[in-house]
Amino acid sequence: MNKKIGFIGCGNMAKAMITSIIKAGLVSPKDIFASDAYQPGLDDAKTRLGISTTMDNKEVVKTCDVIFLAVKPNMYDSVMKELAPLGDGKIFVSIAPGKTLDYLENGLGKNTKILRTMPNTPAMVGAGVTAICPNKNITQEDQEVLETVIGTFGTVERIEEKLFDTVVAVSGSSPAYVFMFIEAMADAAVLQGMARDKAYRFAAQAVLGSAKMVLETKRHPGDLKDMVCSPGGTTIEGVAVLEEKGMRFAVIQAMNAVHDKSGKM
């Protein structure tokens, strides 16, 4: 791909995306540029990933064709004010929860090409899922380029903008819940005598394999759960405890809390 890709902000999410782009061989590391106010973070990215780095946001925009706004949501106002005069012909990609296309256009300019996205951290291993929603200035050719870039992070799904707060809850934040679940299962296995490293492998592989069954068989998760629950068996005992402790309700409430928080950011 004959494009230069920039990142304003070089934190964990940006590094996850950069890693996937490089692993996919989409562009050379020398054609990826990142800026950040935290010099040690830039030094780490330059050393580990081989990309070009700077503390000057404007330099990234002037150099690159596609620019990911990978700063914290509370920094968007100041960053957009700085970059708006340089936006002609550039494509800006937002990854922040709660920042609507109207908001982004007001900050970057009504004629600016903008893609709103919500990625998640499994992008680091090419197994993410990213929701996208383009503004009216994004052409079909632009979208093909963007989907190619974002496709290196994993699955890409075009979603109506009104559902973006739901996307934050169901995929953006949910890796944290899954990591907690894996950790809890591993802790129980350690309590029962298994070595810690083996416990993490067993728990993580069980989650990975279960997710793959949902995606590849396309069967209802309830049907797949029933396949494991033999009458009077061990699994149904565990399911009964999870139901008693309110696992489903806790997950739903957690997602509602994330959804509501996202809408206020």
10 is in an annotated binding site: yes
Q: What is the pLDDT of residue 159?
A: 96
Which residue from 178, 134, 177 is spatially nearest to 156, judged by alpha carbons? 134
> How many whole angstroms separate alpha carbon 34 and alpha carbon 119?
18
At residue 13, the pLDDT reads 87
Q: What is the pLDDT of residues 47-84, one digit of tens each?
A: 999 999 999 999 999 999 999 999 999 999 999 999 99
Q: Which amino acid is at 186?
A: A
Ligand-binding annotation for 11, yes or no, is yes
Residue 70 known to bind ligand: yes
Mean pLDDT to the nearest integer, 153-168: 95
Res. 124: pLDDT tops 90: no
Q: Please indicate if the annotation marks 51 as binding a ligand.
A: no
pLDDT of residue 193: 98
Return the pLDDT at 16: 86
* Residue 264: predicted pLDDT: 87
How sure is the predictor about 1, in pLDDT bands with cuts at 50, 70 and 90?
Answer: confident
Spatial distance between the Cα atoms of 122 and 13, rounded to a whole number of angstroms: 10
**pLDDT-based confidence at 11, cuts 50/70/90?**
very high
pLDDT surpasses 90 at 123: no
Distance CA 116, CA 146 (A): 11
pLDDT interval class at 86 (50, 70, 90) = very high
What are the tens digits of pLDDT across the range 240-260? 999 999 999 999 999 999 999
Question: What average pLDDT does this structure show over 109-137?
Answer: 94
12 annotated to a ligand binding site: yes
How deeply is 193 buried, as exposed, middle or buried, from its count of CB atoms within 10 A (0-12, 13-18, 19+)?
exposed
8 known ligand binder:
yes
Q: Is 17 annotated as a binding residue?
A: no
Residue 175 among known ligand-binding residues: no
Distance, CA of 70 to CA of 116 (rounded, Å): 12
Residues 132 and 116: beta-carbon distance below 8 Å: yes
**pLDDT for the residue 125:** 87
Q: Over the stretch 185-227, which tens digit does the pLDDT of each residue have?
A: 999 999 999 999 999 999 999 999 999 999 999 999 999 999 9
The rounded mean pLDDT for the chain is 96
Does 206 carry a binding-site annotation? no
Per-residue pLDDT, 215: 96
Q: What is the pLDDT of residue 126?
A: 87
Per-position DSSP letters for 53-88, written without gaps between them: EES-HHHHHHH-SEEEE-S-GGGHHHHHHHHGGG-T
Q: Does pLDDT of 18 surpass 90?
A: yes
Name the strands in the sheet holding 52-54, side by side, starting at the edge strand that comes first in the sequence. 52-54, 32-35, 5-8, 66-69, 91-94, 113-118, 128-134, 154-158
The predicted pLDDT at position 250 comes to 97
Q: Structural domains in the chain?
A: 5-161 (3.40.50.720), 172-264 (1.10.3730.10)
How far apart, in whole angstroms, are the C-alpha atoms of residue 46 and residue 50? 5
162 is in an annotated binding site: no
Beta bridge partners of 8: 35, 69
- Is 236 annotated in a binding site? The answer is no
